[in-house]
Structures are given as structure tokens and as C-alpha cells.
């Protein structure tokens, strides 16, 4: 369990945490064109004082699944394409990734996907209504490998408490990482959050679910002998 002093430190750093490091990269012509053409339809601009109405955003009452840090969007688009009875929102701060995701969404003729290009913590705090999400996905977040940087990891107790506010009862947080020390940290933090129950029978990790697409990044890690750890916590 986390000691009281640890909890105070995590709360102190919570306001400084951002979901991912912003990495500027060169847009391809296709990515740039996709952002220009599709952002008015699939993009959501951040506003500190404009809570979202998901039924208005998507035009239906389907469950809403939020993915934080979707990279180039391949797995997010695959999941949204395979599950068109759910609505998906992706958050990414890397503009080429946003462009690539929008390109893939158009190719798959998706109508159940929207994207943000902004920090996830601020979006959650200011735009996502309490009790509105069915699931939150965070796959392979930056592990901040150096010990002195560990406090920058997004998976910390105050952040999970924020997710609990935004999830519906029985809502799920699904995490995945290829960094063992971070996986152990996720188990400790998740099991310390009173609002959640660990869905693992052994109170740590769950088998890799078939519905989570295997990415090139993940396949490369496996080929190099890296482990992959999935975790699922359910809101009580």
C-alpha cells in the first residue's frame, strides 16, 4: 500500500502531470490534408469551460470509450471499426499521429470516432462529464524509466481517482505496458485506489485480451524478448 507521505507527494505533482510529452514531428502531405479536411467533422477543440454532451457529439447514446495517447492511431481505429456500437474518443498530442489516425478513420469510414490534440488531464478535468465513460484505455504510456522521473508517470493514484469520477459504475480502466517496473507500479497504484477492483484473479495482471490489437511496437518488443503486461480495474 502507498504510505500517506507518498500520497501527499503524488497529489503535489498531480497538477504538473501531462498525459504525454509533446513531440513535434513533420507532417506528411496526407496527414496534413486529413487534419484540414476531417478536423471539422472528427476533431474536438479543447475548451476549459465547455463540458461535452456525448449524445450530441455522436448523435446516439452508445457507450463511450476514451483512449489516452493513441500514437499513430492504428489500434484505436481497428477497435472502433470492430466495435461500431460503441463511441471512441482518442487523445494524442503528437500532430502526425492525429493526422495518421484521421487518415485511417476515413479509410475505414468511421463515424464513431472523435479525436483531441491536447493534454488528457485537462480534458478529463474540464470537458468530460462525471460518470460518462464506460472505459478508459492507456496502452504503452511513457514509462519515464529514470527513477528521478518516475513521478511524471501518468498512472498515479490521483489520476486514477480522477478516472473513477469520470467512469460510470462498473466502468473499466485498461492499462498495458512493456516495462516491467512500470507494470508493478501500476499494480500497486491500482490496488491502492479504493474506487476500483482489480479484475485479475491473482490481483495483478490479466491475460492479453483478443480485442486489443497487436501493434508493430508490441510485436517488435516481443521479438526482442520484452514482456507485455495488461491490467484491468473496474469501478466499484
Region for 116 from its dihedrals, namely left if φ exceeds 0, alpha if ψ lies in -120 to 50, beta otherwise:
beta
Residue 142 catalytic? yes
Q: Catalytic residue among 6, 83, 142, 204, which?
A: 142
C-alpha span between 36 and 5 (Å, rounded)? 48
Cell digits of residue 147: 527513477
Q: How far is CA 176 from the centre of its chain?
A: 10
Q: Left if phi > 0, otherwise alpha if psi is -120 to 50, otherwise beta: which for 109?
A: left
d(CA 22, CA 98): 12
Q: Which residue has the cell 489516425?
A: 101
C-alpha cell at 168: 460510470
Residue with C-alpha cell 455522436?
58
CA separation, residue 162 to residues 39, 156, 212, 218 (Å): 27, 10, 24, 28
Residue numbers annotated as active site: 142
Amino acid at each position: 500500500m502507498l504510505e500517506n507521505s507518498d500520497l501527499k507527494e503524488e497529489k503535489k505533482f498531480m497538477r504538473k502531470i501531462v498525459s504525454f510529452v509533446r513531440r513535434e514531428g513533420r507532417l506528411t502531405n496526407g496527414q496534413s490534408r486529413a487534419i484540414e479536411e476531417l478536423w471539422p467533422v472528427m476533431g474536438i477543440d479543447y475548451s476549459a469551460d465547455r463540458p461535452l454532451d456525448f449524445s450530441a457529439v455522436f448523435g446516439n447514446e452508445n457507450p463511450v470509450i476514451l483512449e489516452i495517447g493513441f500514437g499513430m492511431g492504428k489500434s484505436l481505429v481497428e477497435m472502433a471499426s470492430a466495435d461500431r456500437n460503441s463511441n471512441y474518443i482518442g487523445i494524442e498530442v503528437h500532430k502526425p499521429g492525429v493526422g495518421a489516425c484521421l487518415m485511417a478513420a476515413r479509410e475505414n469510414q468511421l463515424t464513431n470516432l472523435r479525436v483531441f490534440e491536447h493534454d488528457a488531464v485537462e480534458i478529463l478535468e474540464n470537458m468530460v462529464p462525471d460518470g460518462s465513460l464506460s472505459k478508459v484505455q492507456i496502452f504503452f504510456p511513457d514509462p519515464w524509466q529514470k527513477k528521478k522521473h518516475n513521478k511524471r508517470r501518468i498512472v498515479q493514484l490521483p489520476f486514477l481517482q480522477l478516472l473513477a469520477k469520470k467512469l460510470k459504475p462498473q466502468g473499466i480502466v485498461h492499462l498495458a505496458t512493456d516495462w516491467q517496473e512500470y507494470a508493478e507500479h501500476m499494480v500497486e497504484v491500482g490496488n491502492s485506489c479504493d474506487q476500483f477492483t482489480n479484475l485479475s484473479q491473482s490481483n495483478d495482471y490479466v491475460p492479453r485480451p483478443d480485442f486489443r490489437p497487436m501493434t508493430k511496437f508490441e510485436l517488435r518488443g516481443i521479438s526482442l524478448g520484452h514482456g507485455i503486461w495488461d491490467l484491468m480495474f473496474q469501478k466499484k
